[in-house]
Amino acid sequence: MKPATFDYVAPRTVAEAVEALGDPGREAQVLAGGQSLILEMHLQRSRPELVVDINRIPELDRMSVEDGELRVGALIRHAAFEAADAVPGPLGTLLSRAVVNIAHPPIRSRGTMAGSFGWAHPASEWCAVGVALDATVEVTGPEGPRALAARDYFLGPYRTARGPRELITAVRMPLLGEHTGVGFIEHRRTHFCFAQVAVAAALTVHDGVIGDARIGLVNSADRPVRARAAERTLLGAEFGPLPAGRRLPDTHPFARAGRVAAQEDAVPVAEPYADVAYKRQAVAVLVGRTLREAATDLRARLAAPEGDHR
């Protein structure tokens, strides 16, 4: 199919983009990487009257570290995070482990992190990482700029708290401290499918005890989920040696957290190849494995020579 007829503008500044989006008489869509929007337009599931192409706005093509946070401008492509040292510390490791699960290289070279937040697909890796880390979505519209917490931003599949005339200018994520280990594991049918379930985790340990745990669930509900009930079971747990063998004993805190995430945090939606029971089982197993990966990452980080904490 071909897209329905639409008008096209390519503003050079954020102010011009906001002005174009601000016309209440026309349904407008922002074009960033186009890796979701163009497909939807071809299928005519999306029929914007106006496409606002933001690719010629240099101020959106910037990534920086400010006040302990990574600020990712709206034109930063997925591929920018593939190298683990693109972003400092454990956050860089987490982003690099997550990004390789997004589609394949041509899509990663065009698609943007902010576009994933704009699209708000329940299987988006970035959106679950954002919810787990308490990311902030910066938007600006006719009423001016505002900052939305990721926990309040996602309202359901493709539905967010962003207004239809607001542009995402950046996504901010906290840099994670040296005593934090990270993991990301995804389960999907074939290499290029969206995740059936995936898990992002960050564990922070002080004096041999887990002081903070962050777990984000991908495609385990109608929106990205922070597994708070599972996180609570980990707080204060001893950060002991990991058991030998691939399978965690049922009594291990990571296995227990997995079961709690599956039963109390996940609200799975059935898909053709994954019913609700299957997804709950996948959440239970993947949460345990991802926490284990985070613990292994932290051990390696703590054992690394001073100044080499990647």
In the complex, the residues that contact ligand FAD under the rule CB under 6 A are 29-37, 39, 54, 74, 102-103, 107, 111-112, 114-116, 118-119, 121, 123-125, 167-168, 194
Closest residue to ligand FAD using C-beta atoms: 111
DSSP character for 124?
-
State the minimum distance, in angstroms, from the CB of residue 151 to ligand FAD.
19
Q: Which is nearer to ligand FAD, 114 or 291 (CB)?
A: 114
State the minimum distance, in angstroms, from the CB of residue 166 to ligand FAD.
7
Copy the structure tokens of residue 216: 């984000």
Q: Which is nearer to ligand FAD, 92 or 130 (CB)?
A: 130
State the minimum distance, in angstroms, from the CB of residue 281 to ligand FAD.
21
Copy the structure tokens of residue 51: 């496409």
DSSP per residue over 127-186, as a string? Answer: HHHHHHTT-EEEEEETTEEEEEEHHHHEEETTEESS-TTPEEEEEEEEPPPTTEEEEEEE
State the minimum distance, in angstroms, from the CB of residue 253 to ligand FAD.
30
Do residues 52 and 30 make contact, with C-beta atoms less than 8 angstroms apart?
yes
Q: Which is nearer to ligand FAD, 73 or 288 (CB)?
A: 73
The residue count for the chain:
310
Q: Which is nearer to ligand FAD, 116 or 204 (CB)?
A: 116
Q: Which is nearer to ligand FAD, 42 or 232 (CB)?
A: 42
Q: Which is nearer to ligand FAD, 107 or 161 (CB)?
A: 107
Copy the structure tokens of residue 184: 């990301």
Cα–Cα distances (Å) from 83 to 64, 175, 237, 263, 284, in that order, read: 16, 16, 32, 35, 29
State the minimum distance, in angstroms, from the CB of residue 192 to ligand FAD.
6
Which H or E element spans position 199? strand 197-206
Q: Would you tell me how many other CB atoms lie within 10 Å of the CB of residue 203?
A: 30
Q: Which is nearer to ligand FAD, 125 or 293 (CB)?
A: 125
Tokens 């983009």 -> residue: 17
Strands 28-31 and 50-53: parallel
State the minimum distance, in angstroms, from the CB of residue 182 to ligand FAD.
18
State the minimum distance, in angstroms, from the CB of residue 82 to ligand FAD.
13
